[in-house]
Every structure is written in structure tokens, then in C-alpha cells.
Amino acid sequence: MSVALKWTGEGSKLFIGRDTFGHVIMSGSWSDDDSEWQEWRAVKPSDLLLLSLASCSAHDVVLILERQRQKLHDLYIEVEAKNAPEPPYQFTDIHLHYIVAGEDLDLTKVERAVALSEEKYCSVAATVRGVAKLTHSVSFKTE
């Protein structure tokens, strides 16, 4: 696995990342000198970690439920995180709330798919688990 990151240049705090397949994403912020400056003009690096965790788990959950012949129509994951109060402000607690919708979904199978993802299959969860407490909840959305 190989990814790359390029700084956009002097006066900038923006970076362009490239994944193993060549997809790109912007991360960071504009210079303080910009008259319309806002703190973050691209995805915050710490938010990228949370998005990576949610994406990794979502991929697993969808795959597991497909194999169990569950008719999932929608999956939405809200991620809430708490940081340590001092630098490096690492995540201490991360909660993923899975909101699912589908036809005749089996609650037990959905909850098991989420648990398998977070505890066994998701590499991002395995990496983060050593630093932050991971928790999750599941709710069903009516269609």
C-alpha cells in the first residue's frame, strides 16, 4: 500500500493527498493572509481519520449484510468523537451511530455485522482501538 501527500506551496497550509488508486483529496487550510480566510478550507486531517473509520466499517457492514441476503436500502453513519484536552489532542472516545433502512432487516444480523466490522474486519478500527475507546449504536429508519 502506498499513498502520497503534496504540499501546495509557500504560504499555504493545503495538501493534496493521493490514495493507492490515484484518487485525490484536499486537506488543510488556506493561508492566514487570505482576506476571506476561514480556519479550514479543506477536510481537517483529524476528520479524515473519522471518515476513514466510518467508510471502512460501512464497507464491511454492506458486504456482510449482502452475504446474509439482507435487503439494505440505506446506511448512514454519524460519528461523534472526543479529543484529549492537551496536545496532540488525540481522540479518546469515538462513537459511531449506524442508521439503517431496508426491507425486512433482521436487527440481530445488522448488529452482528456492525460488531464484526469494528472488532474483526475494519483495519482502521483495529488501528484506532489502541488509542481511543470505540463504541457504536444502531437504529432503524422507516422508509
Stretch among 1-10, 74-83, 125-134 having the lowest mean pLDDT = 1-10
Does 11 have pLDDT greater than 80? no
Model pTM? 0.88
Q: Could you tell me the pLDDT band of residue 142, with boundaries at 50, 70 and 90?
A: confident
Instruction: Return the pLDDT at 131.
Output: 93
Does 130 have pLDDT greater than 70? yes
Instruction: Return the pLDDT at 30.
Output: 56
CA of 121: how far to CAs of 21, 61, 141, in Å?
21, 10, 25
Average pLDDT over residues 118-123: 97
DSSP-derived pairing of the beta strands 71-83 and 91-103:
antiparallel
Q: Which residues contact 1 (CB under 8 A, 6 or more apart)?
A: 20
Residue ranges per structural domain of the chain: 1-43, 45-140
Three-class SS state of 18: strand
| pLDDT tens digits along 35-45 | 555 555 788 89
Look over the chain and give the mean of its residue pLDDT values, rounded to a whole number: 91
More confident residue, 97 or 33: 97
> 72 phi and psi, to 5 degrees?
-75, 130
* CATH 3.30.300.20 fits domain 45-140: yes
Average pLDDT over residues 94-120: 96
Q: Which residues contact 136 (CB under 8 A, 6 or more apart)?
A: 95, 96, 97, 98, 114, 115, 118
